[in-house]
Amino acid sequence: MSKRIFKGLLVGFIFNGIGVVLCLFIFSLLNNSTIEAMWTGFLETQRLWMLISLGALPNLLAFFEFLRRNQEYEA
């Protein structure tokens, strides 16, 4: 059981990281800026929580896929 929970935790962190990078990429394209400039902008304005919250949206895909497969511990 602990391996299954660890698998779900790992998948959650990976999907959240991918989501944050994807959001940074999209925001940098919309603002004609670099990814690094957007990252420092979020840090300086203390709005990193917005980026992390938006980055967690792809995690919902993994969550509902685990539930669809009846893998509750991974979800």
Domain limits, the chain: 17-68
Is residue 28 within 8 Å of 38, Cβ to Cβ?
yes
3-class state of residue 70 by DSSP = coil
Q: What is the pLDDT of residue 75?
A: 72
C-alpha to C-alpha distance for 47 and 58, rounded to whole angstroms: 19
**Gyration radius of the chain over CA positions:** 15
**28, HSE (Cβ side, Cα atoms, 13 Å):** 16
Q: What is the pTM of this model?
A: 0.82
Provide the residue-wise pLDDT of the chain in tens; the chain has 75 residues: 788 888 888 988 999 999 999 999 999 999 998 989 999 998 999 988 988 898 888 888 888 888 888 877 777
Q: What is the pLDDT of residue 71?
A: 77
